Structure formats: structure tokens, C-alpha cells
């Protein structure tokens, strides 16, 4: 890794003077406190001490955080949940995950970083998930599972607008907005599954705001009513009746998550302590 780090710094030498800290956001199983990446989807990574290694090589404070947790922090500092003290942010994409802000603080900020909802069992008789369990939320609400379900149902719906075009999340959302029954049904189905999970979370965290970050937000007029009606049916009315359900400001958080980690550590004094220690 030393060569890669050296190459990077040689290439960006002109900007080095202004560098005070490094923040990295990535998917997988991460310990934000120790900077260890336990596992990462798509890469053969096991117990990689990323934070410590980079800090030793550069002499800089290094922050490592799960991408969804960092995105949740970015929305709280620069985006749709600015100023809110209690927020649940759910991300529906190839995986399903969540970040929680409780009392103005990101939950699990300095530990195992994700509110791991994707592998909560929704259907005990459902299909097997890659985690080994059956019927996880991710097997019924990830974008991959949604496309699979739409493809299965397409054979029995000859009138669907989804025939004669590639089946993608974008084409599914466009068809839903044009009133296609099949597209609307499968997206609403995801909304009901997500709503059931959120109803449980609402009863635990009593948030003032719920954010949804997803490519399915292109069909928000189908997805959001399904999510909110399920929450209202299944959560405590006193908790659910005033919740605002909104899309995230950033459809792709890009570097906002990493910037949020640095800003948050400045506010909390954590970065100053690290700089003094360094």
C-alpha cells in the first residue's frame, strides 16, 4: 500500500500543503473507531487496518466511515435533514441500509457504523440471502430483487409498457410514472416492505423526519405514499402522524459524506484532539 500512497501524493503534491486530514467512505463492515475494514463487497478484503496504515504513512488524522452513515451525516450538515435532531435515513439501492441521527448525533458514530436493517427477516419463507438467512429485507427491497420480480411478472402481463425495452430501474420508474400497472405494483411493494421496517424503527427512535435515498425516488409519487401509508398503519400514531417523509438532497452523495466526517469532527473537537496528538 505504501507505493500507492506515495504515488498519490507525488501526483497531487501541489495541494499537499492544504491537507489536514483524510476521510474515506466505503461500503462493507467497518469499525469507524479503529479504522479497520472487516469486509467489503466486491473486494477480497479481510481485517484491513486502513485508518492506521494511512495515518502511519501520511502522519495525518484519518477518518474511515461506512458510506451510508457518512451520507446520513452529510444530509444533516448540508442537505435535507439540516437542523433536525432525530432522523432516519434509509437507502434503497443494490443493498438496503440506514443511518440514524438521534439527539443530533449519528448513531454508532465511533463504532460498527451501520444500522444493519438489510438483513432483518421480512419473510421467513422467502428466498435465501447471500448472508445465509432467508427472506431478508434486501431479498425483497433491493433494486436487484425488484428488477428480478418485475421480470418474472412481465411474462403474465402482455400489456405492460416494460415490454420491448431494457428492464432497468430508470425504465421501471418511467413506466410507473406513465401509469403502468406492473411497474407501479412492484415499486409500491418495495414501499410496503420498507414501510414495515420503518414502522418498527419509528417506534424505537421517534424521528421528526425520514429521508429516502434511492434511484427509485424517480418514481417518488408511487414509492412515498406506499411507505408512508404503511408507517401510519403499523407505527404508534402519536409517533407517526407528524413525520415528514422526504427524498435526500443528494441522489449520489459523492464526496459530501467524507466532507461531512471532517466537518463533524471539527464541531466535536475530535479533529483538534487528533491534530494535537499527531
Which residues form the interface with Zn ion (CB under 5 A)? 119, 129, 131, 133, 136
Nearer to Zn ion, 133 or 203 (CB): 133
CB of 138 to Zn ion, least distance (A): 6
Residues ≥6 apart with Cβ < 8 Å to 160: 154, 175, 180, 181, 182, 183
Nearer to Zn ion, 30 or 261 (CB): 30
CB of 111 to Zn ion, least distance (A): 21
φ/ψ of residue 127, rounded to 5: -75, 160
Residues ≥6 apart with Cβ < 8 Å to 15: none
Nearer to Zn ion, 34 or 133 (CB): 133
Nearer to Zn ion, 20 or 128 (CB): 128
CB of 211 to Zn ion, least distance (A): 23
Nearer to Zn ion, 24 or 68 (CB): 68
CB of 210 to Zn ion, least distance (A): 22
Strands 87-92 and 209-213: parallel
CB of 129 to Zn ion, least distance (A): 3
Contacts 24+ apart (CB under 8 A), 82-88: 84/207, 84/208, 84/209, 85/208, 86/205, 86/206, 86/207, 86/208, 86/209, 87/207, 87/208, 87/209, 87/210, 87/211, 88/198, 88/201, 88/202, 88/205, 88/207, 88/209, 88/210, 88/211
Cα–Cα distance between 71 and 8 in angstroms, integer?
25
Nearer to Zn ion, 128 or 165 (CB): 128
CB of 200 to Zn ion, least distance (A): 17
Amino acid at each position: 500500500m505504501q507505493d500507492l500512497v506515495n504515488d498519490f501524493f507525488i501526483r497531487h503534491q501541489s495541494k499537499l500543503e492544504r491537507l489536514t486530514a483524510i476521510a474515506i467512505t466505503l461500503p462493507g463492515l467497518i469499525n469507524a473507531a479503529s479504522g479497520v475494514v472487516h469486509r467489503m463487497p466486491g473486494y477480497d478484503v479481510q481485517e484491513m487496518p486502513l485508518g492506521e496504515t494511512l495515518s502511519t504513512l501520511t502522519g495525518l488524522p484519518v477518518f474511515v466511515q461506512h458510506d451510508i452513515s457518512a451520507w446520513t451525516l452529510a444530509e444533516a450538515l448540508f442537505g435535507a435533514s439540516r437542523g433536525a435532531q432525530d432522523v432516519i435515513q434509509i437507502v434503497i439501492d443494490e443493498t438496503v441500509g440506514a443511518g440514524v441521527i438521534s439527539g443530533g448525533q449519528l448513531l454508532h458514530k465511533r463504532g460498527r457504523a451501520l444500522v444493519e436493517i438489510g438483513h432483518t427477516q421480512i419473510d421467513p419463507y422467502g428466498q435465501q440471502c447471500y448472508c445465509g438467512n432467508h427472506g431478508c429485507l434486501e431479498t425483497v427491497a433491493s433494486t436487484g430483487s425488484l428488477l428480478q420480480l418485475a421480470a418474472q411478472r412481465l411474462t403474465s402481463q402482455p400489456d405492460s409498457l416494460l415490454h420491448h425495452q431494457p428492464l432497468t430501474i430508470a425504465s421501471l420508474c418511467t413506466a410507473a410514472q406513465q401509469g403502468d400497472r406492473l411497474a407501479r405494483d412492484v415499486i409500491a411493494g418495495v414501499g410496503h416492505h420498507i414501510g414495515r421496517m420503518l414502522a418498527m424503527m419509528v417506534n424505537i427512535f421517534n424521528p421528526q423526519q425520514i429521508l429516502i435515498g434511492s434511484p427509485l425516488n424517480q418514481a417518488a409519487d408511487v414509492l412515498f405514499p406506499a411507505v408512508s401509508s404503511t408507517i401510519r398503519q403499523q407505527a404508534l400514531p402519536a409517533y407517526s402522524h407528524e413525520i415528514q417523509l422526504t427524498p435526500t438532497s443528494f441522489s449520489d452523495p459523492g464526496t459530501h459524506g467524507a466532507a461531512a466526517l471532517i466537518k463533524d469532527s471539527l464541531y466535536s473537537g475530535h479533529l483538534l484532539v487528533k491534530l494535537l496528538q499527531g
